[in-house]
């Protein structure tokens, strides 16, 4: 399966956990949370200290999500990502997206290897906005630039 097919499969999921969504309403992760919800996704916020995100009840761990989700979008730091992918595996979540816009984002080589060893589908990097139709500026521009230099997933 190509990276793009893995991305499209993940975005085809309508119920997913968003792990590490910020408690700060002005944070980028919150705008992504709101965008996904506005597009019809049933997004469950996962944060160890948040009680709710934009009025949606939050849970501290992916294992606490009920009913279960089909995928998890990780917005965590790399050391936390390694822990979270193990939790996802234990909870039966087989699709994981490790968010990245700049720097390492949520990507952890150890976590990617864990997913691969355990038959989990993984998007290791990328920003979901670049793959959502009509995402607007700057997301469409970011996608255009990646296509221009040959870094957009095929």
Per-residue pLDDT, 122: 96
Q: What's the confidence (pLDDT) of residue 17?
A: 97
| pLDDT for residue 90 | 96
Question: In which element (H, E) is residue 57 found?
Answer: strand 56-57
pLDDT for res 45? 97
Q: What pLDDT sits at residue 1?
A: 81
**Is 0.85 surpassed by the pTM of this model?**
yes
- For the chain (154 residues), the mean pLDDT of every run of 10, in chain order, is 90 95 89 94 95 95 94 94 96 94 78 96 88 70 65 74
Extract the tokens encoding 131: 């793959």
Domains assigned to the chain: 3-148 (3.40.50.720)
CA–CA separation, 43 and 69 (whole Å): 9
Structure-token match 């290791």, residue found: 124
Contact 36, 99 (CB under 8 A): no
- Is the Cβ–Cβ distance between 58 and 46 less than 8 Å? yes
3-state secondary structure of 2: coil
Which candidate, 133, 132, 135, 130, places its Cα nearest to that of 102? 130
Q: What is the structure's pLDDT at 154?
A: 80
d(CA 38, CA 20): 19
């Amino acid at each position: 399966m190509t990276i793009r097919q893995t991305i499209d499969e993940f975005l085809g999921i309508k119920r997913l956990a968003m792990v590490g969504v910020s408690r700060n309403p002005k944070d980028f992760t919150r705008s992504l949370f709101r965008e996904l919800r506005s597009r019809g996704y049933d997004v469950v916020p996962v944060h160890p200290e948040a009680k709710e995100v934009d009025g949606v009840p939050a849970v501290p761990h992916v294992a606490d999500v009920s009913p279960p989700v089909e995928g998890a979008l990780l917005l965590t730091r790399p050391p936390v990502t390694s822990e979270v992918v193990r939790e996802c595996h234990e909870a039966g979540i087989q699709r994981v997206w490790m968010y990245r816009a700049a720097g390492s984002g949520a990507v952890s080589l150890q976590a990617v290897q864990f997913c691969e060893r355990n038959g989990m589908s993984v998007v290791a990097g990328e920003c979901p906005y670049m793959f959502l139709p009509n995402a607007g500026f700057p997301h469409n521009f970011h996608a255009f630039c990646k296509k221009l230099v040959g870094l957009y997933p095929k």
